[in-house]
Amino acid sequence: MSKQRQAIFVVMSLAFGLVISLGLLELAARVYMHTAKVPIKRDPVVFVDDPGGYAFDPGVGWKPRPNSRDEVNGIFINNLGMRMSKTFDYEPEFYAKPRVLLVGDSMVYGFNVTQPFIFSEVLQREMPQLRVINAGIVGYNNVQEDVTMRRLLPLIRPQLSVLFFCENNDALANDRNDHF
């Protein structure tokens, strides 16, 4: 077998192994979610403080209305308009812990997932030595996420910032000119 064929075989084997591994992980996640009976609400989002729960923002189009909540679906928006059970304050205690800023769209926001089960809340419970900040917003594209992150960086001063990308809709939203 020539070296070129060997290289192609190695690359194809690695790609095949990766696809199989990701498929098994997806299957395991679906089985876990089904057996753990993680509650996922399908009711329409109706915020107590303001029906619709979103406010116009000239820089990004829309953002969750600060201090709003949807008690039916278990959604809490803090004083900065982020989906978190804790409010943001400028006290030294907030900055005492290392901060992780999560930015993204509905996956980070936890669309249709009750507050205790969104991954940022789970991560906060599992790693109390950190301060996990969920800045995910439903429907955002990567440009809106970038603007949001740039706004929050000087305020939160995170040690780690994570920008989530979902290839099934972010690539399309970034390519279109009609989103925002």
Q: What is the mean pLDDT of the chain?
A: 82
Residue 44 in any domain: the answer is no
Q: Provide the CATH number for the domain around residue 120.
A: 3.40.50.1110
* Same domain? 60 vs 9: no
Share of the chain above pLDDT 90, in %: 34
Q: Count Cβ atoms below 10 Å from residue 144 Cβ, excluding itself.
A: 22
Let me know whether 119 and 66 are in one domain.
yes
pLDDT digits (tens, 9 = 90+) for 6-31: 989 989 999 999 999 999 998 888 78
Residue 4 lies in a domain: yes
In terms of domains, do 19 and 72 share one? no
- The pLDDT assigned to 17 comes to 92
The phi and psi torsions of 127 (rounded to 5 degrees) equal: -130, 70
Residue 101 and residue 166 in one domain: yes
Q: Which domain holds residue 159?
A: 54-175
83-109: average pLDDT: 87
Contact 73, 114 (CB under 8 A): yes
> What pLDDT is attached to residue 66?
87
| Residues 6 or more apart in contact with residue 108 via CB below 8 angstroms | 102, 119, 120, 134, 135, 136, 164
Q: How many domains is the chain built from?
A: 2
Query: Do 90 and 145 sit in the same domain of this protein?
Result: yes
Beta bridge partners of 77: 83
The structure tokens 């820089």 sit at 59
Q: Helices then strands (H, E): number in the chain? A: 6, 7
pLDDT, average across residues 37-59? 60
Answer whether residue 45 is part of any domain.
Answer: no
In a domain, 66, yes or no: yes
pLDDT in tens, 104-135: 988 899 888 888 999 999 999 999 999 999 99
The token pair that represents 7 in the structure block: 């290289």
> 145 lies in a domain?
yes
**Domain co-membership, 139 together with 64:** yes
Q: Please say whether the dihedral angle defined by the alpha carbons of residues 54, 146, 115 and 172, taken in this order, is positive or negative.
A: positive
Tell me if 149 is assigned to some domain.
Answer: yes
Burial of 164 (0-12, 13-18, 19+ CB in 10 A): middle
